[in-house]
Structure 1
Amino acid sequence: MRVFLTVISIAGILITGACSGPKKTLRHQAVIKDPAVLEQRADSLFFAAQRSKMLGDFRTAITQYSDYLRLNKNNPTVYYELARLFMEVQNPGYSLGFARRAAAMDPDNHWFQITLADAFAVNEQFDSAATVFDKLTARYPENEDYLYNKAMFLAKANKPASALAVFSQLEKKTGVVEEVIYQKQRLLLKMSQVDAAAAEIRKLIDNNPQELRYYFLLAEVYDANDRGAEATAIYQEVLRKDPDNARALLGLASYARKNNDKPGYWAFLTRAFANPSYSIDEKVAYVYPYLQMMQLDSTKVEEGLELTSLIVKAHPKDAKAYALRGDMYSQADMLDSAQQNYTQALSLDSSRFSVWYQLMWIYSRKEDPNALLALSKTVTDKFPREFMGYYFKGVASFLLQQYPAAIGALNKALETGNGEKKFMADVQSLLGDAYHATGQHPQSDSSYEKALLLRPDDPLVLNNYSYYLSLRGENLDHAAEMSKRSLELEPESPTYMDTYAWILFRQDKFEDARHWIEKALQFPEAQQNPNVLEHYGDILFNLKDVTKAVEYWQKAKDKGATSVGLVRKIAEKKYIQ
């Protein structure tokens, strides 16, 4: 296939003042006038600049060529080299100035003319660049690249009709060439001439009827212009040549879906997904949106699971197939099936941390701390720099009441330094709980404070921190503020009501405490909670309602309360702190 090259080469960031830098001075030297010596010095600078350019030291090369021009202003090659170098350092204005000078000094040098066109292009003067190639084309009529570049610059100058005429002129020289036809159809579409663009692509198909890419290019043109029926006819043409072509099947599925033909959509789609030659990565990309759609439309669950089953059937040895099906089951809250598929994915490819993470998350959701702890130990051994492995190890250890191990794992998670902010707050919160459980209260308070710096309005942290302060009878005003804030965030939480009531009790605000504990007891879960019942009894006793206090202490005992002194409270009918 013939290939045409554009000559524009545009690099990174604009660097201005590229000529700046130390300059040699002759102020304290004798002025040399010997032509031979000057010529020798100029040659030395020229070759030094060439060497600097080859080494990629463009700034030094610019300085050396500039110094050369102080000795010899009549060498067009140096202006040409400076024009190219200023393009490299992204100083388009300087580049154009030097390119003009080189082209003017030696107008017959086609390289200088090409560089002038380049310089016009980087200054977005596309008309002028096209004019340069027009002159080159007149001088070198057999050079197809010059004609191609002229057309491209006319297109960039927003002259589609002129560019199209030049491409047609080029086509007469080259015959049907993909790049030329592609540019012609692109220009025709820009001019809203869809049928003419389609006719151009038909030339490619007629020239090479076995190249399916051309059929898809034509179908895309029809699709993009709301001519779905014609696109469908092209996809059917493809299927006559390749009955299992996934791209054509997907095109037909898309058309069926747009026309509310669900059976047709599903028939074409499942045929495509059953094809092993259809890339699994493309299948995954197609199915992945189902994970979001499933949350809004329950009917998508069955579709998503069927598609992932087809992927597994077509790619039974690819871990990505099982990982995707695991994601689908996880999203559908089918945790056992999700676990099975993630495990299968890991048996095929154990290198992907994301799958290990999902499996740990499944064990966490299943509230299986033993399995979670065993798995997280494997993960931290295999991926020692991954934050989430230590996080889940800490969670599992905490749930198993292995508090020192939880503290160690959670601090290790913090040491990795690569956790997301939301999880860092969770780590600090859980550390606060674990330190409290081991009686390390200063460390517990510090961890809660750090958690609240990361997430100031986390109601759970506010509640736990304030409750543990109240149990110790420390900093009760701060505890009351935090507890009140947790209720503002979750006003219907009986747990947070109980905490606030207990803090008020510790502040000797018994009537206020009674108000909040009775509010909590309006919720069935609070009525079954032995701690809430015991707290109510404590509050009632301090309000001089001893009979009712003993009644609620007994209820707390019946519900399984095991606090120190409860039996004595009941027996002695008095509050024991």
Structure 2
Amino acid sequence: MGLVVREYNNYMKKHFLIAFLFFTLKGVVAQEHPFYSYNDPKIQEALNQIDPKEYQNAFFKGIRYKIVGDAEKAIEAFSDCIRMNGQEAAPMYESAMLYFNLGQLDQAIFFIESACKIEPNNKWYKELLAKTYIESGQYSKAIYSFKKLLDIEPGNKDWHIELASAYLLNNQPRNAIKVYDNLQKYIGPYEMLFQQKKQIYLEMGDRLGAIEEVESWVDSEPSNLEAINELSKLYILSGKQTKAILALEKSLEIKNDNASAFIMLSDLYRNKQDFEKSFYYTKKAFGSLDLGIDAKMRLLLTNYDSADNDPELLSKSYKLIEILKQTHPNNAKPYTIAGDYYYRDDSLNLAKRNFKKAAELDPSRFPIWQQLMIIKFDLKEYDDLINLGKEVQELFPSQPIIYYLLGLAHIQKKSYDLAIEELNSGKLIIIENPNLLSQFYASLGDAYYAKEEFNKSDIAYNKSLEILPENTYVLNNYSYYLSLRKTSLQQAAEMMSLCVKLSPGQPSYEDTYAWVFYQLKDYNNALLWIEKAISSGGNNSATIVEHYGDILYQLSKKEAALLQWQKAKELGSKSKFIDKKISEKKLYE
């Protein structure tokens, strides 16, 4: 549609003055413009009966309205021209084009068919007619029209393409291929034609035809890497792996840094169970600048989960990461993925080193800094974390997670006032993140509890649960602290009932639930839950084992209690009364 309008407008600009002179001189130079044909004596006689000036004014009024985009008034002006002279094709063509652009195809067809009857050899008219048939779904008529156009201009590339499209729309794909074959006689080997024919064959389910087409492309352009890669893909699709390998190896003779070939060869050899060669070509791809870093990162991310239980794949992934660093030394991404791998494998110092390098290369990416701070927390490098956090705060002052990590670090250092200051500041800048806000209040609860400001601690914990009622960390800690204080024990029991439902099989949670029952003097339920905790893995926890002994003692199972206290001592219990309990075989609290 746009092509017709553009070509016609260019033509009109070129011949505007000629058209103007024609109207002024009453048609003396009619043949200078392809749209106006006044050779017929009858038409000339009819023209002599109308006022040329009135017709001229109406026509150019239509042109002006068309230029400014007022289609309705333009159509009205051209209609006036048609009423004055129904044998003139130009206003009919203009009207058809306007209706076409408005999507009023029935009207467009009426006027362009009328124009073509008056001037059957005008290629502009016939082209618009064909395109209008296409838009209206009259594909057979469009095919006929484009074929007639090619009779006028046999080597026209655009009309060949339009005709092929019409055949495809009319479910005649083999005729479309014939049209492309015919066009190739005029323009020679042409990538787009090979690609189009290949796609048609594939959509017909004719893989052999597609292969033969692309083989012809390769024969015509033996050094065209895209053609060879396309052929290789078709061979792979058709199960012709050996041919695919030969084609790809040929492409490497043309360009020894062909990353697409490396990737396909890697896949092919993997399918053939030749993992050594497969990895060889993967390494070649990673060492090639012809393959973008993001594609390489995607492969490493794909390997990330699988490598967790596959030592060989993990080893290969680390080798690829090192190649990635060498190939892209100034990009942070290789160091980021290295940090992720090392962190997952608990190699925290190596993870820290890589994230630090990534942050140096790209200090604008906050997630890198965040992960670096988390690693420092995991390594218990609290002073370093605090110093780093202050630097990162200057770069990203609106990131609340920085304040949270600083708060946690200060809690670990027992700098509770500083922790409370960071946490209170950070929670003010949290936007639409209830999970994080709940954690801020949870940590505030921990800090206030450590300061023995129990009222503030309770308020913070309750606020955390108000925001996120199923926060198991808070449900457990708050309940445990209430049990130690022997206050609000029924509330603690209700919270722990929810907690163990949300996270079954967690020995620390089951131990807390048991201890709440213990403080309620419900020793049978306490025994039930402490034994669950032991079964869930708590038998290696000095605290849980000692609690087990205390509960057994309250149930008058003193010998069994003594055995558990002794075991707790062996596990490293540092409780205040453990030695006295063992030596005197008596419970002390």
Q: What TM-score, normalized to structure 1?
A: 0.74
**Structure 2 counterpart of 1:339, from 341, 352, 355:** 352
Q: Is the 8 A contact 1:432 1:446 kept in 2?
A: no
1:366 corresponds to: 379
Alignment of 1:344-355 (within 5 A): 344-355=357-368
1:104 corresponds to: 113
Computed over aligned residues only, the root mean square deviation of the Cα atoms, in angstroms, reads: 4.5
2:493 corresponds to: 480
Q: Do structure 1's residue 496 and structure 2's residue 509 form an aligned pair?
A: yes
Aligned residue type for 1:359 = L
CA displacement at 1:230 relative to structure 2 = 0.8
2:200 corresponds to: 187
1:446 corresponds to: 463
**What SS does the aligned partner of 2:397 have?**
coil
Tell me the alpha carbon deviations over residues 297-329 of structure 1, each in whole angstroms, 9 at most, x when there is no partner: 232110100111122223333332322322332
Q: Is the 8 A contact 1:301 1:332 kept in 2?
A: no
Tell me the alpha carbon deviations over residues 500-558 of structure 1, each in whole angstroms, 9 at most, x when there is no partner: 233334545354345544655678857854598479759967x8999999999999999
**CA distance in 1 between partners of 2:168 and 2:105 (Å):** 21
**What SS does the aligned partner of 1:333 have?**
coil
Q: Do structure 1's residue 316 and structure 2's residue 329 form an aligned pair?
A: yes
**CA distance in 2 between partners of 1:41 and 1:474 (Å):** 96
Structure 1, unaligned runs of 5 or more = 10-35, 54-60, 87-93
CA displacement at 1:418 relative to structure 2 = 5.6
Percent identity over the alignment is 27
**CA distance in 2 between partners of 1:310 and 1:437 (Å):** 49
CA displacement at 1:192 relative to structure 2 = 4.0
1:560 corresponds to: 574
1:174–1:363 Cα change, 3 Å? same
CA displacement at 1:165 relative to structure 2 = 1.0
Alignment of 1:30-179 (within 5 A): 47=64, 50-51=67-68, 53=69, 61=70, 76=92, 77-84=94-101, 86=102, 94-107=103-116, 129-179=142-192
2:406 corresponds to: 393
**Structure 2 counterpart of 1:384, from 397, 403, 417:** 397
**CA distance in 2 between partners of 1:268 and 1:544 (Å):** 71
**CA distance in 2 between partners of 1:394 and 1:64 (Å):** 72
1:490–1:160 Cα change, 3 Å? same
Q: What TM-score, normalized to structure 2?
A: 0.73
CA displacement at 1:342 relative to structure 2 = 1.9
Q: Is the 8 A contact 2:99 2:105 kept in 1?
A: no
**CA distance in 2 between partners of 1:137 and 1:257 (Å):** 51
1:518–1:218 Cα change, 3 Å? closer
1:406–1:64 Cα change, 3 Å? farther
2:249 corresponds to: 236
Larger Rg: 2
**CA distance in 2 between partners of 1:256 and 1:301 (Å):** 19
Bigger RCO (CA 8 Å, 6+ sep): 1
Please identify, of 164-173 and 123-132, the stretch whose mean Cα deviation from structure 2 is larger: 123-132
1:297–1:103 Cα change, 3 Å? farther
Q: Is the 8 A contact 1:147 1:166 kept in 2?
A: yes
Equivalent residue pairs, number: 520
CA displacement at 1:270 relative to structure 2 = 2.4
CA displacement at 1:346 relative to structure 2 = 2.3
Q: Is the 8 A contact 2:545 2:565 kept in 1?
A: no
CA displacement at 1:184 relative to structure 2 = 1.7
1:31 corresponds to: none
Q: Is the 8 A contact 1:133 1:150 kept in 2?
A: yes
Alignment of 1:217-256 (within 5 A): 217-256=230-269
2:278 corresponds to: 265
Q: Is the 8 A contact 2:251 2:258 kept in 1?
A: yes
CA displacement at 1:227 relative to structure 2 = 1.1
**What SS does the aligned partner of 2:468 have?**
helix
Tell me the alpha carbon deviations over residues 352-385 of structure 1, each in whole angstroms, 9 at most, x when there is no partner: 2332233234334434333333333333321234
CA displacement at 1:478 relative to structure 2 = 3.8
